[in-house]
Structure 1
Amino acid sequence: MEKELGDAQRRIIAALQVDGRATWRKIAAVLDMPERSVARHGAWLLENGLVTVAAIRHREHSMLVACSCAPGTGRIASEALSAREDTSFSYQVTGREDLIVELHYTGDATDVLSLQLPATPGVSAMVVYPILKYFKTIRGWRLGSLNAAEEQALRKDPDRTSWKAVPDLSSKDEQIIAALKEDGRASIESVARRVAMSETSVARRIDWLLHSGQISIRALVEPAAVGLPVEALLWVSTTPSQIEPLGQRLAARPEVRYAAAVAGDCQLVVDVTVANQAELYKFISDSAWGDAMLQVKTSLVVQARKRGGKLLAI
Structure 2
Amino acid sequence: MSDTLDQTDREICAALLRNGRASWRRIARATGIQERTVARRGARLLEQQLVRVKALAQPHLVGRGEATFARIACRPGATPQVAQWLAHRDEALWVATVSDGTAVIAECYLRPEDRSAFIEEAIGELPVTSSSFLPIAYFHRTVRGWNPNILVPEQLEQLGENESQALTAADDPPPLDPTDRDIIALLEVDGRRSIETIAAELGLAKPTVRKRIDHMQRTDTVSIRAVLEPALLGFPNEVLVTARARQSALATLGERIAENWHARWVAEIPAASEVRATLTLGERTELRDVLREIDAHCEDALIELTAAPILHHAKRSDVVLTRA
Q: Same fold (TM over 0.5)?
A: yes
Deviating more after overlay: 12-21 vs 189-198: 189-198
**What displacement does 1:304 show?**
0.4
Matches within 5 A, 1:41-60: 41-60=41-60
Q: Does 1:89 align with 2:98?
A: no
| CA RMSD of superposed structures (Å) | 2.4
Letter in 2 for 1:93: V
Q: TM-score, normalised by structure 2?
A: 0.87
Match of residue 300 from structure 1: 309
Letter in 2 for 1:238: A
Unaligned runs of 5+ in 1: none
CA contact (8 A) 1:234 1:270 kept: yes
**What displacement does 1:267 show?**
1.2
Matches within 5 A, 1:154-193: 154-156=159-161, 158-159=163-164, 160-161=166-167, 163-164=170-171, 169-193=176-200
CA contact (8 A) 2:3 2:232 kept: no
Distance (Å, rounded) in 2 between the aligned partners of 1:280 and 1:217 = 30
- After superposition, give the CA deviation of every residue in 1:141-168 in whole Å (9 maximum; x if it has no partner): 0122222222111114544335257797
- After superposition, give the CA deviation of every residue in 1:276-306 in whole Å (9 maximum; x if it has no partner): 2210122223333425332233221111011
Matches within 5 A, 1:59-74: 59-60=59-60, 61-74=66-79
CA contact (8 A) 1:91 1:306 kept: yes
Bigger helix share: 2
Change (3 A) 1:244 1:23: same
Letter in 2 for 1:54: K
Distance (Å, rounded) in 2 between the aligned partners of 1:78 and 1:102 = 12
Match of residue 63 from structure 2: none
Q: TM-score, normalised by structure 1?
A: 0.90
Match of residue 25 from structure 1: 25
Change (3 A) 1:120 1:49: farther
Match of residue 11 from structure 1: 11
Unaligned runs of 5+ in 2: 61-65
- After superposition, give the CA deviation of every residue in 1:187-234 in whole Å (9 maximum; x if it has no partner): 112223333433333223322322232210111221111111111111
Q: Does 1:110 align with 2:119?
A: no
Deviating more after overlay: 99-108 vs 17-26: 99-108
| Number of residue-to-residue matches in the alignment | 314
- After superposition, give the CA deviation of every residue in 1:114-170 in whole Å (9 maximum; x if it has no partner): 456434633442111211111111121012222222211111454433525779744
Match of residue 135 from structure 1: 140
Distance (Å, rounded) in 1 between the aligned partners of 2:268 and 2:114 = 19
CA contact (8 A) 2:76 2:102 kept: no
Change (3 A) 1:19 1:3: same
